[in-house]
Amino acid sequence: MGTGRADGERRGADTRGRLIRAAVAALLGAGALAAVAAPAGGQSEEVGEAAREPTVGVRIAAQRGEDGRTEFALQHDPDAHTGAPYDWGERLLPARRFFPAGARVDRWLVSSPLTVSPAGGADVTVRIMARLQADDRIEFAVQQQLAGGSWGEPLLPARRFFPAGARVDRWLVSSPVVWNPVAAPEPPAEPGAPAPARFSAVDSGGTHACGLLTDGTVSCWGGDSHGQTDAPDGRFSAVSAGLTHSCGLRTDGTITCWGGNENLQSDALDGQFTAVSAGGYLSCGLRTDATAVCWGRGFSEFDTNSFVPPLLVSAVVAGDRDACGLITDDDSVLCVDETYETPLHHGPFSAISAGGRHHCALGANGAVACWGDNSHGQTDAPEGRFKAVSAGGRHTCGLLANDTVACWGDDSDGQATPAGGLFTAVSAGGNHSCGLRSDGTVTCWGRIEGP
């Protein structure tokens, strides 16, 4: 009695509700990374006290450029924990934010880090991940940096695929990703997976890097155009990565080099050494009597291979086409090249580093001084107290007194945007940089990833 009208009204309301939901879904799909339905619920539920803990809420934005690359950004709602409708801020643009047109399928690439500030909580460091699918869509995710500097598991938005045929210069957005940063777990180890490699040293080359493992063996990764990552067996006490070759100091004091040898830079000299440095087209070693010798471009055509003039040095480094020594008598720096010019840089300095066409030295007071080519700002060292400095191809990195890393110069591949966290050493390469953490793990940023 009377139920027919009520049932009809309910059916009509259900139909209208379905139509409204379909229309909303269509609108969302038109402006999102993919037409994947966002999960229902969450927003309309009551928010209890537990939900008011610091919460990170972000979404990914992406647009296709005229050159075929895809630019991505992040939007943040600091009040995501309130349960109110999202209020997205302006797009945050990472320094490294362009997904290349010719990326390899199913390989995650990452942006440089961004910092977001949830209401009522500490700052959180995140980065955007992206990988190309076999159907030419791009999948996106978010990662949070955990305590100690490692990165957590990828956080996947429900709507996270950038379409292959997206219109140029039109921003599309993902569905929100909301999580509690305090409770973010460390990524679980796969059953039977080996423990992470532990290193005691790392050095960055042109397009590759090498590390000295705690067991004395050498591991190299990255570009291998000349066999520069094919490290030989045996025990080493030091390793150095050059432009297209690498050298290692064995535990018996001899030097072995591998990789490119067009300028005889891999023809290591005989004898006993305490240090080795692989550069662009030459290599150098420090003998046990504190004299330095080099081989390769500008040196191998001479009989002596001596560092000219033959002074006692406490350190020697090979650059692109020259070598620098830290003179024992007064801690000044002398650099020589194939012309045997000898400009002197007065210290006192405690460490030196040679890059592509520039050089840097660490002063006794912790200040960094750089000279040479400054076409990309690579010699514009910032103020502050440093523990170490490393000159790369067209950029420079330094380890600050608080164990964080600062980089300056060319950042076209993100090589001058360091990873967050604390480090014990840093090395700047050609298009990348790598840092050694206190737990023995290596983190790299720029063109290549870590080991």
Report percent pLDDT > 90 for the chain: 51
Structure tokens at 258: 């591998």
- Which segments within 218-298 are labelled E, that is strand? 218-222, 236-241, 245-250, 255-259, 273-278, 282-287, 292-296
User: Residue 117 is which amino acid?
Assistant: S
Question: In the 8-state DSSP scheme, what is residue 118?
Answer: -
Question: In the 8-state DSSP scheme, what is residue 334?
Answer: E
Task: Count CB neighbours of 301 within 10 A.
Answer: 11
* Position with higher pLDDT, 395 vs 159: 395
Structure tokens at 373: 């080519």
User: Residue 441 is which amino acid?
Assistant: T
The pLDDT value given to residue 275 = 94
CB contact at 8 A, 277 and 261? no
CB contact at 8 A, 399 and 405? yes
The pLDDT value given to residue 194 = 63
Task: Count CB neighbours of 174 within 10 A.
Answer: 29
Tokens 């090979």, located at residue: 318
The pLDDT value given to residue 2 = 36
Q: What is the pTM of this model?
A: 0.61
Q: Stretch 43-49: mean pLDDT, rounded?
A: 32
H-helix or E-strand containing 345?
A: strand 344-345
199-446 maps to which CATH number? 2.130.10.30
Residues 6+ apart with CB under 8 A from 33: 60, 62, 140, 157, 159, 160, 161, 162, 163, 172, 173, 174
Q: For 272-325, how does the pLDDT look when each residue is reduced to its tens digit (9 = 90+)?
A: 999 999 999 999 999 998 888 999 987 754 445 565 556 788 899 999 988 999
Domain span(s) for CATH 2.130.10.30 in the chain: 199-446
**Band of pLDDT at residue 195, cut at 50, 70 and 90:** low
Alpha helices by DSSP H, listed for 342-396, are none
* Position with higher pLDDT, 224 vs 147: 224
